[in-house]
Amino acid sequence: MSDRAGPSGPPRVETTTVRVRYAETDRQGIVYHANYFVWMELGRTDFLRKSGFPYPDLEAAGIVFAVSEARCRFRGAAEYDDEVEVATRVREVRSRSVVFEYELRAGERPLASGETTLVALDVERRPRRIPDELRAALRR
Amino acid sequence: MSDRAGPSGPPRVETTTVRVRYAETDRQGIVYHANYFVWMELGRTDFLRKSGFPYPDLEAAGIVFAVSEARCRFRGAAEYDDEVEVATRVREVRSRSVVFEYELRAGERPLASGETTLVALDVERRPRRIPDELRAALRR
Amino acid sequence: MSDRAGPSGPPRVETTTVRVRYAETDRQGIVYHANYFVWMELGRTDFLRKSGFPYPDLEAAGIVFAVSEARCRFRGAAEYDDEVEVATRVREVRSRSVVFEYELRAGERPLASGETTLVALDVERRPRRIPDELRAALRR
Amino acid sequence: MSDRAGPSGPPRVETTTVRVRYAETDRQGIVYHANYFVWMELGRTDFLRKSGFPYPDLEAAGIVFAVSEARCRFRGAAEYDDEVEVATRVREVRSRSVVFEYELRAGERPLASGETTLVALDVERRPRRIPDELRAALRR
């Protein structure tokens, strides 16, 4: 069972801003690539919060999201102190997983685009259904 | 111009062992996913060293490798103190880029498979050719 | 040559808020201790910005601050999604170094207190004087 | 109740080698300072293992060590691919806490010296006594 997000009109996009930390740069003078995956998580966490389902509340209710796949195409280089905008949207909501998409930019400069698949697990890390209200909120 | 690696026989695989650090775990009790990309880098760095081209020497010679694409499929969960084996091989060598593939496991437990595309840049971060000797060494 | 900061009245305190990232937690369910040092850096960077000397501008002008000593006493445990307040002030300004002090809390909960000594270096990493305007701004 | 370690002769020193990762460098071209605290943890974890008490076993037995204080004096700069030696020893063993000391160097180059105080907690994060056998092993 799978639905494309946003059956009517374009999907909702939420934007999260992250200022680049010194610790995130490497000796090439730019941001070390693995940190983009951390920023994508900040994007989807913020998306969930703005959807009315803060992720800490989900975990407290016994729903853990685990990343089952992650990818990123790097187009530009984020630099120290840049204000990076992470634009997050839901591409697909399934009964037990969600696919998020991300576009990252610093001002006009495109940095990267990425996507992650999250699977819902219970506290014993077994796959579980995503509650209907959450699925509905993600599609909105 | 592109060649599949290993025209004769299966491609060379180099294995690198990484012990999971406490700092790499998260509150789910397992390793935070972005760290797998750091381990893949340890794998390809080790592969380069074993190919006779330590990466620090490459940078000293004006060749920077930048990650242009990275992906990972997560199958299992690495835990604190696990000895993770990163099996690295070259899937494709092009004139200006290389694709590495990785299989990660902890003992018999499969953890993840991933791939990264690296593009060769000069010191001003412009694309440049990969020297023939290095391309040959990567294909071997 | 050394002056206690704030010769008249209490020293200026600047507060910076950091929301705890999932990546910063560890398997004890709380924040991994080394991350507090990253947050202290966010505090002093913000302090410098509010003093009229954004750190990127300092580096562009050939002044690098290197940490020569860092310490932290941990009193409480920051948790995922906490809004951590880093209260930063300057304890001492010397001709070539600055000592910053930090108090970290999450709401009413004290988390840690720390201090770092930063030495001013030139682009070749040799010790250099801190410009008078910057020293004055830090004392204000 | 407190005993200086090593009542007879100099305290035992265990050495752990860490190769510097690209992810650990920053845009100054050297290792970001907070990573030294991660390496110190690798040092004390290794010390515990060599003492016959691997830290994962301690946690499984309900003993958590939490860092209550950490400090580091930075003397040199670790660089990418350096093999850093962390020399760890126990300075003091108390009934509920242990103080570890560290000397870090890369070949002949001194990098840093540090110390951390660890307090023993039970699974509910309440202070608890360190078992006698462990205290004895740490003093040996």
How many inter-chain contacts (B to C, CB under 8 Å) are there?
Answer: 28
- The catalytically annotated residue of D3, D26, D81, D122 is D26
Look over chain C and give the mean of its residue pLDDT values, rounded to a whole number: 94
The minimum CA-CA distance between D10 and chain C, rounded to whole Å, is 26
Return the biggest CA–CA distance within chain C: 46
CB contact, 8 Å: D34 with chain A? yes
**Residues in chain D, how many?**
140
Question: Any alpha helices (H) in D5-140, and if so which ranges?
Answer: 35-50, 55-60, 132-139
What span, in angstroms and rounded, lies between the C-alpha atoms of D35 and D30? Answer: 11
What span, in angstroms and rounded, lies between the C-alpha atoms of C54 and B122? Answer: 30
What span, in angstroms and rounded, lies between the C-alpha atoms of C78 and D67? Answer: 13
Q: Which chain C residues contact residue B22 at CB under 8 A?
A: 26-27, 32
**For testing contact with chain D, the best of C74, C104, C113, C125 (most D CBs within 10 A):** C74
Tell me, letter by letter, the H, E, C secondary structure of chain A. Answer: CEEECCCCCCCCCEEEEEECCHHHECCCCEECCCHHHHHHHHHHHHHHHHCCCCHHHHHHCCCEEEEEEEEEEECCCCECCCEEEEEEEEEEEECCEEEEEEEEEECCEEEEEEEEEEEEECCCCCECCCCHHHHHHHHC
Residue of A nearest to B30 (CA): A66
Return the biggest CA–CA distance within chain A: 46
How many inter-chain contacts (A to D, CB under 8 Å) are there?
Answer: 28
What span, in angstroms and rounded, lies between the C-alpha atoms of A20 and A25? Answer: 8
Q: Is the Cβ–Cβ distance between D84 and D105 less than 8 Å?
A: yes
Residues D27, A26: C-beta atoms closer than 8 Å: yes
Please, what's the b/e burial string for C74-101 (b: 16 or more CB within 10 A of its CB; e: otherwise)?
Answer: beebbbbbbebbbbbbbebbbeebbbbb
Q: Is the Cβ–Cβ distance between B16 and B46 less than 8 Å?
A: yes
- Look at residue C11 in the predicted model and tell me its pLDDT: 87
The minimum CA-CA distance between D76 and chain C, rounded to whole Å, is 9
pLDDT in tens, A83-119: 999 999 999 999 999 999 999 999 999 999 999 999 9
What sign does the dihedral D55-D58-D60-D65 (CA atoms) show?
negative
Residues C66, D74: C-beta atoms closer than 8 Å: yes
Q: Which chain B residues contact residue C23 at CB under 8 A?
A: 26, 32, 34
Question: With pLDDT > 70 as the criterion, what percentage of chain D qualifies?
Answer: 94
pLDDT in tens, D106-132: 999 999 999 999 999 999 999 999 999
CB contact, 8 Å: D41 with chain B? yes
- Look at residue B67 in the predicted model and tell me its pLDDT: 98
The interface pTM score, or ipTM, of the predicted complex is 0.93
- Look at residue A140 in the predicted model and tell me its pLDDT: 87
In the predicted structure, residue B85 carries a pLDDT above the cut 70: yes
The phi-psi region of residue D48 (left if phi > 0; otherwise alpha if psi is between -120 and 50; otherwise beta) is: alpha
pLDDT band at B36 (very low <50, low <70, confident <90, very high): very high
**pLDDT mean over C106-113:** 97
Q: Is the Cβ–Cβ distance between B70 and B58 less than 8 Å?
A: no
- Look at residue B72 in the predicted model and tell me its pLDDT: 98
pLDDT band at B119 (very low <50, low <70, confident <90, very high): very high
pLDDT in tens, C1-58: 444 544 567 889 999 999 999 999 999 999 999 999 999 999 999 999 999 999 999 9
pLDDT band at A1 (very low <50, low <70, confident <90, very high): very low
pTM, rounded to two decimals: 0.94
Tell me, letter by letter, the H, E, C secondary structure of B66-105. Answer: EEEEEEEEECCCCECCCEEEEEEEEEEEECCEEEEEEEEE
**What DSSP assignment string belongs to D75-89?**
-S---TT-EEEEEEE
Look over chain D and give the mean of its residue pLDDT values, rounded to a whole number: 94
What span, in angstroms and rounded, lies between the C-alpha atoms of C137 and A138? Answer: 48
Q: Taking Cα atoms as reference points, which of C90, B22, C65, A126 lies closest to residue D39?
A: B22
What span, in angstroms and rounded, lies between the C-alpha atoms of B43 and B49? Answer: 10
Instruction: With residue B136 as reference, give the H or E element that holds it.
Output: helix B132-139
Residues A71, B70: C-beta atoms closer than 8 Å: yes
Instruction: Indicate the pairing of strand A83-94 with strand A97-106.
Output: antiparallel
What are the structure tokens assigned to B5, written together?
A: 């690696």
Top-confidence residue, B88 or D7: B88
First to last CA, chain C: 17
What span, in angstroms and rounded, lies between the C-alpha atoms of D51 and D90? Answer: 11
What span, in angstroms and rounded, lies between the C-alpha atoms of B99 and A99? Answer: 25
Residues D23, A30: C-beta atoms closer than 8 Å: no
What are the structure tokens assigned to B57, written together?
A: 């020497």
Residues B27, C27: C-beta atoms closer than 8 Å: yes
Question: With pLDDT > 90 as the criterion, what percentage of chain D qualifies?
Answer: 91
In the predicted structure, residue B1 carries a pLDDT above the cut 50: no
What span, in angstroms and rounded, lies between the C-alpha atoms of D21 and D4? Answer: 35
Q: Is the Cβ–Cβ distance between C86 and C16 less than 8 Å?
A: yes
Question: With pLDDT > 70 as the criterion, what percentage of chain A qualifies?
Answer: 94
The minimum CA-CA distance between C39 and chain A, rounded to whole Å, is 9
Tell me, letter by letter, the H, E, C secondary structure of C55-107. Answer: HHHHHHCCCEEEEEEEEEEECCCCCCCCEEEEEEEEEEEECCEEEEEEEEEEC
DSSP reduced 3-state for B6: coil
Chains that touch A (3 or more CB pairs under 8 A): B, C, D
The minimum CA-CA distance between C8 and chain A, rounded to whole Å, is 33
- Residue B29 is nearest to which of C27, C30, C80, comparing CB atoms? C27
What are the structure tokens assigned to B111, written together?
A: 């953890």
C26 is catalytic: yes
User: Any residues with CB less than 8 A from the CB of A83 and at least 6 apart, and which?
Assistant: A17, A18, A19, A20, A106, A107
Quick one: chain C helix, strand, coil %, rounded to 5? 25, 40, 35
**pLDDT mean over D7-36:** 93
- Look at residue D6 in the predicted model and tell me its pLDDT: 46
- Look at residue B7 in the predicted model and tell me its pLDDT: 53
Question: With pLDDT > 90 as the criterion, what percentage of chain B qualifies?
Answer: 91
Question: With pLDDT > 90 as the criterion, what percentage of chain C qualifies?
Answer: 91
The minimum CA-CA distance between A13 and chain C, rounded to whole Å, is 21
Residue C9 CB burial class (10 angstroms; 0-12, 13-18, ≥19): exposed
Q: Is the Cβ–Cβ distance between D42 and D107 less than 8 Å?
A: no
Q: Which chain A residues contact residue C43 at CB under 8 A?
A: none
Residues A73, B74: C-beta atoms closer than 8 Å: no
**For testing contact with chain D, the best of B16, B17, B21 (most D CBs within 10 A):** B21
